[in-house]
Structure 1
């Protein structure tokens, strides 16, 4: 098998610092202390891929788009594109990769990485020319659109390792490990949607996904659906949650229209796609970043979050401010309209912390009305 691997090193950096995305916001994200997310996601996928078969042939792009992390995982890649020169070249680290300490570092080497959509497109075009059987990319919806553009006119399938903030498209695996599993087991493909949104509109609370492409993607259960908007009324649900708030408890209220109705019922104007922190009738932080949430937490804390319609993600899509550090200090209350939950057979989590993901999995109770709850499994 021959796989092309490319990483967008800045994908998802704006999430935990409250920027809702990274398009045109890289410098501001860094000023706010954002750390690269893609390298760890890529490493998790490649580690699983090596566990399946370390002899898989891999083509990749030079740093900072994947070469050293592919080597870290034990592969000997063919580097077919150099983002520094824009030309094919074998660049990056010497054969064999870094030592173990460097390979498990915090990825400081990517802190100031800079690449463009043109680099992604050129790298993927080089993969197609090299005859890869699959393109595995690490990024978000914008990266997916760039990959799909580069593969137009070919039969080469693509599969995403989710690392962006929004991840609306249905071309992504559920987790990095799932991406590796699908890559080595799929035997057929299907056409799936590549969606993206205008991040400036998104930051203003306007969510209008736009179809950017239709791409060939492996057929597998471990792929997410396109994000759908939830239906049904949430007034009774919001009234019930607001009625049951407890004094002294800090409520971390996630994004989206369902939790937005709860915020309105609590008496304040919600941040439509941000996280607001509330306690004892006071909004402590609006549109909070991860660090602001952590600073505002008290002795008792509850995250109130609603799954994404059509996908079922509770954590890991659209709410990276709710990081593992935040989740571990809070109880979790999941809410959803009946109609939204009716569309979902399971819920999902993808927090960037596999141990936390495992701890969150299992049967959980979701509030669907003023008093009603329903059991559903997080897988």
Structure 2
């Protein structure tokens, strides 16, 4: 059974200024004043409320987190397995600690980042990620919650997490991270500014399986998927176009010949190799990487079975998969195709159990134009 790799970062001082009328918690001086007024640290308790929903999956989860009140203390209390990847150098943690913890965590590419705090914390998460698109869920613990990256309550966040690990389909969307000018706010002025965005579940108040109102129009949905993939294609990068009708539609939109049950290679919207074997693909990929060329795999899943590797596309050998990397997989499928799995996970069956396990976890599937659906992947 696959072990999900989740990440947790807590801003222990989030919300500390609220109950003592300081209208925020940003800055060491404000936190010191809040503590002097008798404020209590409550972020940890809000995280406990959310993570309690994960109890049924406890044996399948391993967390990446920061030491002490930034995560490890709560996880230890709840009995979760975890690895500490960041150690703050001071007792009263600062914004740079959140940023550093997120940077350290991002290096291990977790399936999902859970963080607790307010708008300032969300800003620090964006900065720490540095542009990496790791799905995230915010547990509200701050005074100011204007960003659209938080659940409406810790319990709602817990329900989101439960649904994810329970295999329910979840649409991802880009949500704005906003923050107020606290000095202006204390003077009665509301000045909000956008600082970036995070990929979050589409319905944070309660995550549910994707509902399709009637049948999807296959051609329209496939055209949307194709438009998304083509828009994101990089100049001079290699794209390994897998088998299947969904990928074939992308090739058709590019105006290129396609091997329906094989793998073709394109670069700068031109075909450079057709119906390649596994060994040919390995040679192309290794040469590209040697020359500093980026490589991406565009694949779909076997309808009704959910296999993304190991069924009908064995040209993607273990060597190819290891060389290209999971982060360069572009997985495409309509929501109707995903929903037909009826909650079953996607499968990887490369013939190497260790590699299968490395590729397991959550993955964002391109299911429309700028539309992603989060689905679990498990080893076969």
Using the size of structure 1 for normalisation, the TM-score is: 0.50
Structure whose residues are more often helix by fraction: 2
Q: Which has the larger radius of gyration?
A: 2
